[in-house]
Amino acid sequence: MKLDPDMSVLLDKLNDWDAAAGPQTTIEGARKRIEEMRALYFEPELLEVREVENVTIPGPAGGIPARIYRPDTEEPTRSTVLYLHGGGWVMGGLDSHESHARRVCARTGSVVVAVDYRLAPEHPFPAGYDDCLASLHWIHDTIDQLGGDASRVAVAGDSAGANLAASVALAARDAGLPLRAQLLLYVPVHLAKRYPSMDELAEGYFLRVPADEDMGAGYLEDRSLALDPRVSPIEGDLTGVAPAIVCGAECDPLRDHAPAYAAALEAAGVPVRLRISPGMLHGYWSMGVVPRANELADQLCEELAELLAPE
């Protein structure tokens, strides 16, 4: 395992900055810290799209803020992607993941709907999950207004957002909602299992996963919920879910979740593409300052576009 040279330079800066900032013990402080880190070091690449529109999606507990990105293409109908941001189920939002939604829109030619689902700990599971599932139903209900094609809908997300996307894909199958593809970026698929990479890379690789901390601690009020397929999708029956691109990052503590999920999907007869991005850290889609990160993100978008192409 070897970090990309530019990623190594960035990691040194992030570790130095984090050490100087000292320990953080509140969720408000953690949210502020990651936003400061993004602003100082990440330089995310904001690709051009034709139009961006802020909307509100009806949700189970009120309106869900969302943002629609429309591509600069001439297709009469387009593929549509529900994008779910990462942030450990407790942080992140439309602005923090603007670059992700723009990239998927620009590189796949899809309409992208990004949603600001409710965050824990203020709104623990299943609040965020319920918002994401409601958003997928809304996409299908309004597909004509979106200029989309109901047979070419995908879910995508990074980290906690990928976990939500995978869980929503299971619900879509059960509800009979057509779903063409999933793009799951550095996805955690089991919140009660500790894979080997989580010990190998527990400290010093941007994302920290100490052995004495439960993954998703702020998200779950009851740890027994970690075995619920809506929380740990690998615990569910994966038969008949949408074809998936499952991506891990080589230097990410969560790396081993990706091959585990890919193997489970394959065992269930689901078409799956496993990709491990060499030399990358967790969250690398945000790290526009690293040229190779942008290239790898574009390659994944190309693969998603292939899965979403008209039949």
Q: Which residues are catalytic?
A: 159, 252, 282
Give CA–CA dist 126/94, Å, rounded.
20
**C-beta separation of 246 from 303 below 8 A:** no
Helix (H) / strand (E) containing 183: strand 181-185
DSSP-based three-state secondary structure for 2? coil
What are residue 183's DSSP bridge partners?
156, 245
**Residue 59: CB atoms within 10 Å:** 21
- Rounded to the nearest 5 percent, the helix, strand and coil shares of the chain are 40, 20, 40
Give CA–CA dist 107/90, Å, rounded.
28
Tokens of 79: 């593929």
Q: What angle do CA 108, 113, 115 make, to 5 degrees?
A: 135
Kindly write down the DSSP assignment for every residue of 93-142, as one continuous string: -TTTTHHHHHHHHHHHT-EEEEE----TTTS-TTHHHHHHHHHHHHHHHT
